[in-house]
């Protein structure tokens, strides 16, 4: 009997083999598309990170020492190696007040200068990267205190500068020299500082105006600087000629030329002006004077030799029979102003318009604005006269009358933390500032609203040192910018290519999942 053989092969439904093949192909396509998508994303990220990686900061550093008549201050500046319109964009990154008096006071004890600058120079070493030390220039500029010492004894002035040169060469920086800058330079560099910080030279300084609030006005500010031994006035002339060539300076900054008037009045800083006034007063006294420029109840005894040791007072050659001068304060602003006004010689003027002492001074325009800094600010700020709101001349006069009339004992109670020397001289200093502007520069009462007392602008000190550094950067060649890893055209091409690949992969993937019939052929 025949037995029917049973097949051991599995039985598959119709079309099963084709279905397996389709799933296999679909899975491979998805894997390929997923891999391609991942690689495209990785390529985009890699190219973007490579091109936009942080480049080495290509910056320069500089140090300027402001050696004034009463103290020395060190300023540290930084600017990019690439320049804007041939002038570097400089910012202040640090400052340090040197402990001790001005360098002119070391004329007879130069051995004490050895440790004078050490603390502040150490601070500079810490702020500036070690790799940049040897390339960082250091400049020391001495102002009116050393100008007076040079007039008195040129040999001693040279000794002080020589000693400072040897000291500064011992630090790991690129020392460029110590010199006495002229009054014209001091005034002009202060003018540069103010207008640079106010954005008057260029409308787009990225570092200074990140929020786009730069000044839109192209008119520059004038500069009023007052120190202990000298005072400066500087501003640009509009449609006027400078009748005295000694008062003319020319600058080119950020691609533009400037014709600047400037003058420095040596011996008319507030400290020297006080000595000059006291000498005049002592000549009509018997050794005791009642001084309205000091508050009532204040007294001081001064050696006549201290009054006559300055070159600013020696020319008066007083012959006084007493060795000391005793001062008693009476505190009267109006009387003080009359005495101060005698310091300014407003006689014959050889020009169309003069300041005092026969010095040419063009009349500023009615809309001319001035920034007043250094002692202008410190004195008027103490007297609470630096408000952002414009004060009238009458309001300023009333405030001065009130302050000068206060008894000395009351001032010491209210301002016990202020050094007695400074506190005692605020009545004179405030009166002197007002009289200098009115009787010296002949500013009208309406012009007071155009005077702005300044200490800092955008966290940077107002003074001549920043302007000095800005001018010096014109002589520092711009370096080649650090280039990006890829040329711009290559970078754009690669980004477009990988973006297109990514879009194509995503598009194909969507077609597979939503319309698989586009990639599958039915069996017949």
With contact defined as beta carbons under 8 Å apart, do 146 and 157 qualify? yes
3-state helix, strand, coil in the chain (%, to 5): 45, 20, 35
Give me the DSSP letters along 419-442: -HHHHHHHHHHHHHHHHIIIIIS-
- 79-107 tens-digit pLDDT: 887 666 566 678 899 999 999 999 999 99
φ, ψ dihedrals at 327, nearest 5°: -110, 130
Lookup: tokens for 78? 């930084």
| Catalytic residue list contains 186 | yes
Residue ranges per domain, the chain?
16-54+484-518, 59-266+455-475
Question: At how many degrees (to 10) do helices 420-435 and 333-341 cross?
Answer: 70
Q: Exactly one of 186, 214, 219, 389 is catalytic; which is it? A: 186
Summarised one tens digit per residue, pLDDT across range 445-455 is 888 889 999 99
- What secondary structure does DSSP assign to 456-476, as a single string? EETTEE-SHHHHHHHHHGGGS
132-136, 282-286, 463-467: the lowest-pLDDT one: 282-286
Residue 227: pLDDT over 70: yes
Give pLDDT, residue 203: 52
Domain 59-266+455-475 classification at class level = alpha beta
C-alpha pair distances (Å), 84 with each of 4, 156, 384, 478 = 101, 42, 39, 9
Enter the tokens of residue 487.
């040329």
Structure confidence at residue 498 as a pLDDT band (50, 70, 90): low
Distance (Å, rounded) from C-alpha 249 to C-alpha 185? 9
User: Is the pLDDT confidence value at 53 over 60?
Assistant: no
Q: Report the range out of 88-92, 177-181, 474-478 with the highest average pLDDT.
A: 177-181
- Which pLDDT band holds residue 191 (cuts at 50, 70, 90)? very high
Q: Average pLDDT for residues 278-283, to the nearest whole number? A: 88
Q: What angle do CA 13, 14, 20 make, to 5 degrees?
A: 80
């Amino acid at each position: 009997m025949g037995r029917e053989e049973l097949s051991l092969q599995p039985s598959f439904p119709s079309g099963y083999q084709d279905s397996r093949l389709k799933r296999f192909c679909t899975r491979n396509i998805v894997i390929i598309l997923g891999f391609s998508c991942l690689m495209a994303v990785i390529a985009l990220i890699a190219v973007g990170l490579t091109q936009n990686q942080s480049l080495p900061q290509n910056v320069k550093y500089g140090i300027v020492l402001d050696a004034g008549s009463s103290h020395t201050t060190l300023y540290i500046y930084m600017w990019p190696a690439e320049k804007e319109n041939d002038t570097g964009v400089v910012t202040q990154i640090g400052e340090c007040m040197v402990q001790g008096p001005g360098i002119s006071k070391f004329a007879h004890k130069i051995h004490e200068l050895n440790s004078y600058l050490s603390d502040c120079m150490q601070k500079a070493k810490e702020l500036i990267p070690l790799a940049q030390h040897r390339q960082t220039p250091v400049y020391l500029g001495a102002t009116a205190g050393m100008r007076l010492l040079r007039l008195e004894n040129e040999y001693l002035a040279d000794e002080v500068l020589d000693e400072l040169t040897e000291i500064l060469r011992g630090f790991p920086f690129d020392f460029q020299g110590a010199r006495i800058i002229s009054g014209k330079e001091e005034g002009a560099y202060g003018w540069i500082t103010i207008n640079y910080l106010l954005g008057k030279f260029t409308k787009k300084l990225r570092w200074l105006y990140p929020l786009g609030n730069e000044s839109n006005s192209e008119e520059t500010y004038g500069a009023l600087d007052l120190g202990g031994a000298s005072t400066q006035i500087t501003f640009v002339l509009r449609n006027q000629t400078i009748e005295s060539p000694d008062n003319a300076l020319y600058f080119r900054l950020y691609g533009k030329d400037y014709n600047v008037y400037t003058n420095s009045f040596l011996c008319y800083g507030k400290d020297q002006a006080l000595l000059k006034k006291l000498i005049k007063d002592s000549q009509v006294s018997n050794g005791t004077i009642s001084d309205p420029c000091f508050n009532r109840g204040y007294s001081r005894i001064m050696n006549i030799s201290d009054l006559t040791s300055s070159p600013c007072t020696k020319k008066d050659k007083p012959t006084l029979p007493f060795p000391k001068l005793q001062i008693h304060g009476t505190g009267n602003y109006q009387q003080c102003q009359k005495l101060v006004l005698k310091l300014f010689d407003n006689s014959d003027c050889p020009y169309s318009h003069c300041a005092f002492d026969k010095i040419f001074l063009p009349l500023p325009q009615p809309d001319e604005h001035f920034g007043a800094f250094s002692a202008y600010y410190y004195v008027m700020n103490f007297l609470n006269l630096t408000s952002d709101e414009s004060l009238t001349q009458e309001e300023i006069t009333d405030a001065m009358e009130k302050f000068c009339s206060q008894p000395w004992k009351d001032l010491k109670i209210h301002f016990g933390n202020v050094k007695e020397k400074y506190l005692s001289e605020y009545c004179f200093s405030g009166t002197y500032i007002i009289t200098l502007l009115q009787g010296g520069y002949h500013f009208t009462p309406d012009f007071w609203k155009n005077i702005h007392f300044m200490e800092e602008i955008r966290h940077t000190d107002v003074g001549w040192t920043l302007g000095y550094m800005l001018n010096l950067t014109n002589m520092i060649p711009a370096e080649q910018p650090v280039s990006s890893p890829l040329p711009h055209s290559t970078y754009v091409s690669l980004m477009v290519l990988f973006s297109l690949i990514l879009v194509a992969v995503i598009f194909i993937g969507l077609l597979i999942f939503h319309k698989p019939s586009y990639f599958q052929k039915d069996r017949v």
